[in-house]
Amino acid sequence: MNPRFFRLDSNDSSLLLLSLAHAIPTVVYYGAKLRSAVDADTLQTLTSNAIPNAKLDGRTQLPLLPENSRGFFGEPGLQGHRNGGNFTHQFLLESVEENTDSLCFVASDNSAGLQLNITISLHALSNVFSWKHRLTNTAKTEFTVDYLGCPTLPMSLAMNQLTTLHGRWGKEFQQQTVELAAGRFQIDNRRGRTSHEHFPGLILSEGTTGELAGTAIAAHLGWSGNYRLLVDNISEHQRYLQCGELLLPGEVILKQNESYETPVLFTTQSDAGLSTISQQLHQFARNKLLPKWTRTKRPVHSNSWEALYFDHDMDKLIALVDAAHATGAERFILDDGWFNARRSDDAGLGDWQVDETVFPDGLHPLVDHVRSKGMQFGLWFEPEMVNPDSALFRSHPEWVLQCPPYPLLPARKQEVLDLSQPELFEYLFYSISILVEQYQIDYIKWDMNRDTLNAGSGQQASQHKQILAVYRLMDALNKKHPKLEIESCASGGARVDFGILEHTGRVWASDNIDPIERIDIQHGFSLFFPPEIMGAHIGSATAHLTGRQTTLDTRAIVALQGQTGFEFDSRKLNDEERATVKHYTDIYKQNREWLGEARLWRLPSIQECLHVCGMVSADQTIALWTVVSNGSHLQATPGKLNLHGLNPDAIYEVTCLNANIDYLAHFGKALPQWMDDNSMSLSGELLMRIGFMLPYMPPQTALLLRCRELSA
Ligand code: DGJ
């Protein structure tokens, strides 16, 4: 009956777990790294609750898989049954495998015929912990899994600020922070993709936590399908966090020896504020998740979508390639519209053959032209979808996810294909693969433009299988074409999560590239994801989604916060604009190598309308800062900017890199004094402690600053 104690230490965090009476272990500490040794008895003494009146007579725990049968009144970690029986469970710990960077627990409930494997692993460098459950049916009869949460984590009541991300098409990653009180905060996503509406991640913090200081824990479910995020508050156990996949009824029925595994929950904690939390997640993604090609020089994209939409024509495309190349594009992407019958979004999805009525010689003239310029070539696909008006649907209507006799519910006049059907899977794999080979495609923009409903396959729910099949299809293509790069796009940013990032390495965060709207989108995105994987394209002077007009400088500076590219029609640029685009593209190219490993700092607002963030190289020798205004500041001058994350002992040259400084100057009588020479040299300490004055920044202006260590 001795308590058993388990410990994992990363560079800056410690995790302590305790198992009493062979029960599933409970997290008793997850926080800043402990220097003290602890033992099981001390931990038990410190963490065993009072026994309140009017409650159960014994002490109860909040283990990794909370069980109703042991006195837990919140959301049970496992919900399932054996044809109505075994609806409640009680696991006993059987064995543990302990390593410096992982703990694997095996627990069984023999009377219910179930085995549970719990795996916790850590990445010491980034302080990110990964958590998952696997449930196996060990009995002869079928066991239906209704819900299996990832390991449940207790949270302190002091962490009462909950930050989540929400939105819609064209307005993704909008941050919401609420104060938690009694009751539960729950998000259920049933859209069959990560979704625009909610992001499967959250940050819990204290009231005093900010970007540069304070305690916070982030949790993110790496899953691109349906999910639940839950933060609940129950009398006996204060607060707990539980995330898991939302399963459709009957979707997971385990036969003997079959298993169901949860998606992975990723967590990280810090006492150093939200920017550090983000840096840890970025570092983890870079080191552990993302494909290797994301660590190479990321090319400047030119994408055909907003330039031409469905107006595909060889002469226009070639002119677009020439114009994009002249301003520094290195990869040309032919977006939606190139395949059979795809003259609008009404038809053609599923027929992945080049439309010979538009391209009589195939894509060869275009691809050859792109290559002759030394550029790479990318192509758009939407593999999971079919238009009813397509040859594919006409010959295989049964390949669609559906629940007959209920009618299909179209969205963008398209339906979702049932990727669990092997013949369809093969068709998609081969039709994409043939084109990748034929045109030596370097990159695929993999789109997914609708939510999924009634995900039925042969009268059985198949949403879980569908997501696994999407991952499998991407993997099969990656394996067959090791140099191929895949981007995840889903009507903008509806499929961005750590699950998809194991199979793709670039994401399209939003169709909204209005730079002012982009401030919040990119801010929310940066909470969880490293900036260099985010496609950030410069749009037209009048943003297509909002009608807002902005200067080229502002659009280009905001696009430098990610992997820059062009969405505008390069053919329409005048000489001055071409020079401006080239100026910023050159800055991107000069800095992209260190940007891919940079630390991102979001600085607290000095004026409500000013948004400052910076990327500082890992060796602190160079940094790029952007200041973007989305309104009028209250004071006559915006005030002083104190930088962060620099080496206090290094001397930096600070330069404003705006192509058009006169534009900023004309809003006042004079720029701040240091900008007279557009450069100054100062120690990192003074740049961070004393800071320096910003110019007057009216709405929609942006400033790009570089700090470069002089001796470096
Ligand atoms: C939605 C994507 O987000 C856009 O960038 C574009 O590729 C269109 N789909 C094409 O249909």
Residue nearest to atom 1 of ligand 1 (CA): 491
Which residue would you say has higher pLDDT here, 236 or 84?
84
Distance CA 343, CA 341 (A): 6
In the numeric block, the tokens 């009216």 are attached to 698
Residue 693 Ramachandran class (φ > 0 left, ψ -120 to 50 alpha, else beta) = beta
Distance CA 245, CA 438 (A): 39
The pLDDT value recorded for residue 597 is: 97
Q: Which residues contact 387 (CB under 8 A, 6 or more apart)?
A: 346, 347, 348, 349, 350, 393, 413, 414, 415
Query: 390 C-alpha vs ligand 1 centroid, how far in Å?
Result: 19
Please state the atom number of ligand 1 nearest to the C-alpha of residue 380: 7
pLDDT digits (tens, 9 = 90+) for 335-392: 999 999 999 999 999 999 999 999 999 999 999 999 999 999 999 999 999 999 999 9
Contact (CB, 8 A) for 447 and 380: yes
Distance CA 25, CA 105 (A): 9
Query: Region 72-100: what's the mean pLDDT?
Result: 97
Of 338, 446, 508, 513, which is best to mutate to test ligand 1, by the most ligand atoms within 8 angstroms of its C-beta? Answer: 508
Query: 230 C-alpha vs ligand 1 centroid, how far in Å?
Result: 32
pLDDT digits (tens, 9 = 90+) for 556-582: 999 999 999 999 999 999 999 999 999
Residue nearest to atom 10 of ligand 1 (CA): 336
Query: 445 C-alpha vs ligand 1 centroid, how far in Å?
Result: 9
Query: 385 C-alpha vs ligand 1 centroid, how far in Å?
Result: 13
Query: Region 613-622: what's the mean pLDDT?
Result: 98
Q: What is the pTM assigned to this prediction?
A: 0.98
Contact (CB, 8 A) for 277 and 203: yes
SS3 for 317? Answer: helix
Residue nearest to atom 9 of ligand 1 (CA): 491
Query: 352 C-alpha vs ligand 1 centroid, how far in Å?
Result: 16
For the chain, what is the mean pLDDT?
A: 97
Query: Region 423-432: what's the mean pLDDT?
Result: 98
Of 169, 172, 333, 336, which is best to mutate to test ligand 1, by the most ligand atoms within 8 angstroms of its C-beta? Answer: 336
Q: Which residues contact 573 (CB under 8 A, 6 or more apart)?
A: 323, 327, 581
Query: Region 511-520: what's the mean pLDDT?
Result: 98
From the candidates 351, 418, 447, 451, give the one annotated as an active-site residue. Answer: 447
Of 447, 495, 508, 537, which is best to mutate to test ligand 1, by the most ligand atoms within 8 angstroms of its C-beta? Answer: 447
Distance CA 467, CA 452 (A): 11
Distance CA 164, CA 199 (A): 7
pLDDT digits (tens, 9 = 90+) for 656-681: 999 999 999 999 999 999 999 888 99
Q: Name the percent of the chain lying above pLDDT 70.
A: 100
The pLDDT value recorded for residue 647 is: 98
The pLDDT value recorded for residue 605 is: 87
Please state the atom number of ligand 1 nearest to the C-alpha of residue 490: 3
Whether 447 is a known active-site residue: answer yes
Query: Region 581-590: what's the mean pLDDT?
Result: 98
Distance CA 112, CA 96 (A): 21
Query: 336 C-alpha vs ligand 1 centroid, how far in Å?
Result: 7
Q: Is the pLDDT of residue 711 over 80?
A: no
336 ligand 1 Cβ < 6 A: yes
492 ligand 1 Cβ < 6 A: yes
335 ligand 1 Cβ < 6 A: yes
The pLDDT value recorded for residue 124 is: 98
pLDDT digits (tens, 9 = 90+) for 125-174: 999 999 999 999 999 999 999 999 999 999 999 999 999 999 999 999 99
489 ligand 1 Cβ < 6 A: yes
The pLDDT value recorded for residue 712 is: 61
SS3 for 535? Answer: strand
From the candidates 232, 335, 511, 514, give the one annotated as an active-site residue. Answer: 511
Q: Name the percent of the chain lying above pLDDT 90.
A: 96
The pLDDT value recorded for residue 372 is: 98
Query: 447 C-alpha vs ligand 1 centroid, how far in Å?
Result: 7
Distance of CA 697 to the CA centre of its chain: 31
The pLDDT value recorded for residue 236 is: 85
CA gyration radius for the chain? 27
Please state the atom number of ligand 1 nearest to the C-alpha of residue 492: 3
447 ligand 1 Cβ < 6 A: yes
Please state the atom number of ligand 1 nearest to the C-alpha of residue 508: 3
Crossing angle between the packed helical segments 552-559 and 575-595, to the nearest 10 degrees? 20
CA torsion angle for 140, 146, 148, 154 (degrees, to 10)? -130
C-alpha triplet 399, 402, 408: angle, nearest 5°: 110
43 ligand 1 Cβ < 6 A: no
380 ligand 1 Cβ < 6 A: yes
Please state the atom number of ligand 1 nearest to the C-alpha of residue 335: 7
pLDDT digits (tens, 9 = 90+) for 87-134: 999 999 999 999 999 999 999 999 999 999 999 999 999 999 999 999
The pLDDT value recorded for residue 395 is: 98
Query: Region 606-618: what's the mean pLDDT?
Result: 96
Query: Region 592-619: what's the mean pLDDT?
Result: 96
Mean pLDDT lowest among 195-204, 207-216, 633-642: 633-642
Query: 24 C-alpha vs ligand 1 centroid, how far in Å?
Result: 46
449 ligand 1 Cβ < 6 A: yes
Distance CA 589, CA 564 (A): 10
Q: Is the pLDDT of residue 237 over 90?
A: no
Q: Is the pLDDT of residue 1 over 70?
A: no
DSSP H stretches of helix in 596-692: 661-665, 684-689
79, 195, 474, 582 from 504: Cα distances, Å: 32, 17, 8, 28
Whether 511 is a known active-site residue: answer yes
73, 117, 277, 497, 611 from 526: Cα distances, Å: 36, 33, 10, 12, 13
Contact (CB, 8 A) for 2 and 40: yes
